[in-house]
Structure 1
């Protein structure tokens, strides 16, 4: 029994007029092409297996931001305020004043001192000579190292140690308030000064585990060792990459099962998976040849390359099956499938690649690396899936069981496609548009709470119960100086950093900061001057103020720690210890500093933001905030231009792009509601989701337009689109969504977040192409005009 939807309208442009040149070149040289692919796969595969994890502190920060420029310019004077680690050696029972603890702490300090990558001159702990105590007596100043002289640890020496610690001012900074742990702080060298090699964060993190935690903590039931710092966090992230390989295998396995269920054909299942894996090997090999590694943020790009390959591979398998069901042999079916898909496939992949390149506008090297990596991967997919894949299928074809399944599937599901084609019906389309408008409004309302930056304490990239975050929680609970430090650099002429006007301004700024929510405490040479001035006056708290007498100030800062004043007294930092590095905390504190500087302009000295990890995070947040909207504009502009070039219609562009826009708005709303901030690792997801999601709309519209040009009614054209391309789009969206959904189980939290967001975008972009695109077409397209234009073009040619 015929379906009435099939019988409406005249038929124009039913078959291609001639084989395109590209088709003749590819299918006329199949053996040569396979040999070339085999050789290139062996070459790139050899290099792909040699690619290694890579990370760099400088590649994760916006080097062009004024804060970072200030920090890098004065880096030599801020050696222990940049990339560093803090190791807390804690006792479970008792306190640190025992012979066993002090002997172990000495060994740990020596071990840290000789770790590769440590700047040995800056290592500080109670065993290092740069940690000293000072007091004022009737005879003047007295002081010395915190560790008292002598051999062995009898009661007298332990009592002297406790007294020295209390006089050192290090309680809360290097020694816990409860005397149950001490900290060893070690600045790191980004490059080895002898070899020039960059710091290997994975090796450094493993050395911490093996030479410190395992050696001195695992076998000692009374000792716990806690480690925090950028290098340790990145090391843990790189080690977590190993689990990503397992997720990749799981994704391949799920894709295989779902493809087999979809195609009922072994060749239709294995060839797209094989071609997509080849694309991943090519991508990794090219990256290795270009000198790139896999940092913790771009390591997920091979997943996306595989996903893009599968997305386009399913379309080819589906088209092959349809052509085979019409009676064509494998060779002819592959040619006809290629002929019908290479234009929309090429445009979709170019949209992906150029869309990813828009990430290059973000001035953070790790995001630029991700953009290059993703674009190379998509460029490779253009070759593997639009050339290798159809050539392979021209030999193996679609099995008889696969052809029968396509024929029976179409007959069984015509009723379903008929029901779904009502999305293009005149009475249903307005309802869809209204729902989309409500969804857009709701999305804009809910995404008002979307924040830029971290929304959780510790390392949000890792799980809250990860070892690193547990260590960070220990530091926060037992030390008054937070690991989140904002450094304001005060620059002057040489020998002028301790002049009264400079000190008074620093004092005022510190008072403002200390009364700002989110700031635990501050420190500077002003703090030192007040303490020493009080000590000069018999410890009377009335004298715990900044003296106006320059001679008193000069005397009070003579013994200031090296970290609070540089060698020629041209720079001195103000340290603000923060409760956390959440986006709102950083914004509030940075705003206080900027407001103070704006209200108190000076000619003789400057306040410069901002070093420390909080300064780096604040700069990164600003760059991402400024780049987010610009990146989206460029992504959508690229997609729109390529769609316009392909379909030569603004109406077509709107039909394809508007569903993508709805998904972007809803994705940001979801991020706001789930407490996921826009950060280095989440910002690219928005561009990646748009780039991959546009494929659905391009394939649907290309086939939709094809049937409209045959003179079919709009609803009938959409029915045929669903029967041919629509089912492949639905399957692809669900398959890709399930594949990335497994990432939610990852021990790396940012990978879990990316998996969740990509799952949402894959599914919603598919829904938008299937549901909203035909509703928009009902209002925007003019089928009669399209047919007339096509007929005129035929006559002219």
Structure 2
């Protein structure tokens, strides 16, 4: 069937080439319209209870797109006219930023931070610094004293050393454009930064804005990687076809995939460019395998008018099956990610499946068709020949697979799998380090985050809701207030939780104010009537919106907001576990707790999804891989055999991730899933060629030797070239891309070494029946006769 298909394609090659060209042009037009940006809603697993709580209360208690801005005096305290004017200017300027929620701008210069005063004449509330910043020394001194008296401001919005002030602003999730917000907020901050004031900014809109900011650099790295790949192919394989055809295969594959991406309305996430490069590397790999097979056939076929056609058909006949198996394995393994409830992963998986599937046309079909047009296939462009060096490496693989040392190889491989598998259990889910793992520790964003966390209670927030739907005023009850207060005292013991705030912190301040500032009354009352009266007084002196960050409109629900000093996976899991422990140990008679909103709540939901599904996804991907191999070779042993290099490459790579502190998160999951399919490609080419050589009448040792010196040469060339080109990603200013490039190189290296040095030994030791059991040493019909 494969031979007949190859004959059909070669015989009608002009029509096939014209059809592929037409489809490429059409999809190329659509590819130019692909939308490259981060869509926040796509990161949320909508069916998770934390996300449901977040979506319901984010407009009241604060969403996950909050930006924190610190205005810091370079010398002295912030209570200077220039610094206070900067706080006011940034606060007012934020109202003009795209997608801003104007009711969620909080700072010293906003109306939401107020001081409550009580006297015989009544109760008075007034903003601390609104509408104008104080100018005279007396006004500034009065503001300073008011800040020090207010525990909801001092430490929360003004640092305890009085050298910095905080501004928080939230954005509307469905409207936020990270690139636009980043540019506007950055321009606003830069306009106020001078020799007296330093401005620091953190938050997801700023973080993903930095990712988009480095997009031009990313494109330059891609171009550099492509140039390095083509240059090395030119040096090693010494023909122009070895340079141009892999480039054509990768370009056609990318054009088809991005065109389909635009047609399906899928936005292209900048962080997953590494996934695109990984798939494109597979196009190059398959194309080089076919070119290498073509070159082998050219040597054995006499020169003539049909030489290139004969060799091209032989390439299709010998490599279409293992190539298809590699493509299907890659597509099937990444398709497992579609089961994730996270829309971003679903869309990415769909795009990756489409992209991988295009390799059938761009690499496995188009490459031999273009090769069939070559008129002078025997020449070389330059005289430098590095193949003797590669043959020495391949001879070493032959020795390891055919000598008695093969038993040592099998035993050591088993020990490697067991050892690396156990160490891989240390792989962390979520961010394993402080700051953002997307950027380097010395990046401006991570330095800003460290500076803010040093002076304040924490930049990342989670809110837990306590309430009872339909029960108006429930938050005013002593049960609710005391429960909030108890949860805050319980959770603040965790060092990573810098502070917490709720309406239970506001009422004691009101109680002390009514008692002439006596600190003995800075606490909640045990009597519900007193707490209710304090709440009523507070509401009477508040303006609309002042209480929104503490309670909803009818006081049926209130929030406890926690400030986190980092967003490490372990920090979040510990906090969630302790909150659940508190809720279980302190049941309520009426109300109920709802976890969890804010940026930390969203991350907690995503981490739980990844933690619960990662093992199942890996197991399912391995099962899919086994089934694909079984169906292809009609042997259950084939499925088990090809699992070996996959397990070796993945356990070693996961161990490296655990060792280097690279966590498994929403960005690394697709790379890991694709890596499972990546581990089998090279082994399939080697095993299938051993099968073919043995069927031609070779002995086992001869079949292994011939396979390594033909398909093994293609594996060595493509692996070496792609390993070096992917290491270029280490130049990226995005730590995530650099680390993923390193992981890709490790995956490629281990996969190639497993195929060249482990698979031959395993095949020789176990003699699988699908390779040797029914082999017949019958001569094959010549290619030229078949074409005739």
TM-score by length of 1: 0.91
Q: Is the 1:708–1:783 Cα contact (8 Å) retained in structure 2?
A: no
CA contact (8 A) 1:267 1:398 kept: no
Q: Distance in 2 between matches of 1:414 and 1:145?
A: 79
Matched, 1:483 2:459: yes
| 2:573 is equivalent to residue 587 of structure 1 | yes
Which secondary structure state, in structure 1, belongs to the residue aligned with residue 474 of structure 2?
A: coil
One of 508, 517, 529 as aligned partner of 2:486: 508
Matches within 5 A, 1:705-716: 705-716=691-702
The answer as to 2:82 corresponding to 1:110 is: no
Aligned to 1:652: 638
- Between the aligned partners of 1:295 and 1:556, the Cα distance in structure 2 is 50
Q: Partner of 1:63 in structure 2?
A: 46
Matched, 1:428 2:405: yes
The answer on 1:262 being equivalent to 2:236 is: yes
CA distance, structure 2, for counterparts of residue 609 and residue 380 of structure 1: 43
Q: What is the Cα deviation at residue 199 of structure 1?
A: 2.2
2:58 pairs, out of 70, 75, 86, with 75
Is 2:71 the counterpart of 1:101? no
Tell me the number of residue pairs that the alignment of Structure 1 and Structure 2 aligns.
764
1:227 pairs with one of 178, 182, 201: 201
CA deviations on 1:632-675 (whole Å, 9 max, x unpaired) are 11211111111111112222222221121011111111111111
CA distance in 2, matches of 1:103, 1:285: 50
Q: Structure 1 residues 475 and 544, CA, compared in 2 at 3 Å: closer, same or farther?
A: same
Could you tell me which residue of structure 2 aligns to residue 577 of structure 1? 563
Q: CA deviation at 1:298?
A: 2.2
Deviation, 1:284, is 1.4
Query: For the Cα contact (< 8 Å) 1:485–1:578, is it kept in 2?
Result: yes
Q: Does 1:619 align with 2:567?
A: no
SS at match of 1:754: helix
* Aligned mate of 2:378, from 383, 386, 400: 400
Is 2:370 aligned against 1:370?
A: no
Q: Is the 8 A contact 2:697 2:777 kept in 1?
A: no
Mark the CA change 1:403 to 1:656 in structure 2 (over 3 Å): closer, same or farther: farther
Structure 2: give runs of 5+ residues left out of the alignment.
540-546, 781-788
CA deviations 1:707-738 (Å, max 9, x no partner) are 22334332221111011101111111122211
The yes-or-no answer on 1:762 pairing with 2:723 is no
Partner of 2:449: 472
CA distance in 2, matches of 1:521, 1:209: 28
- Structure 2 residue matching 1:440: 3-state secondary structure: helix
1:44 is aligned to 2:27: yes
Segments of structure 1 that go 5 or more residues without pairing to the other structure are 1-17, 192-197
Equivalent residue number for residue 317 of structure 1: 291
- Name 2:192's counterpart in structure 1: 216
Task: Identify which of 475, 479, 482 aligns with 1:497.
Answer: 475
State the Cα deviation string for residues 467-518 of structure 1 (Å, max 9, x = none): 1111111211122x31122211112122112211222222222221122342
8 Å CA contact 2:730–2:738 kept in 1: the answer is yes
Partner of 2:724: 738
Are 1:459 and 2:439 counterparts? Answer: no
Would the alpha carbon gap of residues 397 and 165 (structure 1) be closer, same or farther in structure 2, given more than 3 Å must change?
A: farther
**Residue of structure 2 in register with 1:639 after alignment:** 625
2:278–2:744 Cα contact (<8 Å) kept: no
1:253 corresponds to 2:233: no
CA gap of 1:767–1:151, structure 2 versus 1, over 3 A, is: closer
User: Which residue is 1:781 aligned to?
Assistant: 767
| CA–CA distance in structure 2, aligned partners of residues 566 and 512 of structure 1 | 24
Q: Is the 8 A contact 2:410 2:758 kept in 1?
A: yes
Q: Deviations over 1:745-791 (max 9, x none)?
A: 21101111111111111100111111111222123225699354658
Q: For residues 316-345 of structure 1, give each alpha carbon's deviation from its aligned partner in whole angstroms, at most 9, with x where no partner exists.
A: 101110111112511111111111111111
Structure 2 CA distance for aligned equivalents of residues 784 and 676 of structure 1: 39
Q: Please state how far the C-alpha of 1:542 moved relative to its aligned partner.
A: 3.7
Tell me the distance in 2 between the aligned counterparts of 1:101 and 1:472. Answer: 20
Answer whether contact 1:213 1:225 (CA < 8 A) is retained.
yes
Measure, in 1, the Cα distance between the counterparts of 2:555 and 2:164: 34
Hey, what does 1:145 align to over in structure 2?
127
Residue of structure 1 in register with 2:543 after alignment:
none
What do you get for the CA RMSD once the two structures are aligned? 2.5
Structure-1 separation of matches of 2:15 and 2:771: 45
User: Who is 1:165 aligned against?
Assistant: 147
Residue by residue over 1:1-38, the C-alpha shift from the partner in whole angstroms, topping out at 9 and shown as x without a partner, is xxxxxxxxxxxxxxxxx873322332222222222233
Conserved 8 A contact 1:696-1:729: yes
Task: Name which of 279, 282, 285 aligns with 1:305.
Answer: 279
The 10-residue stretch of structure 1 (331-340 or 140-149) with the greater mean CA deviation from structure 2: 140-149
User: C-alpha separation between the residues in 1 aligned to 2:88 and 2:266?
Assistant: 40
Q: For 1:392 and 1:531, how far apart are their aligned partners in 2?
A: 80
TM-score, L = length of structure 2: 0.92
List aligned pairs for 1:351-366, cutoff 5 A.
Answer: 351-366=329-344
Per-residue deviation, 1:349: 0.6
- Separation in structure 2 between the aligned mates of residue 568 and residue 550 of structure 1, nearest angstrom: 18
Contact persistence 2:28–2:255 (CA under 8 A)? yes
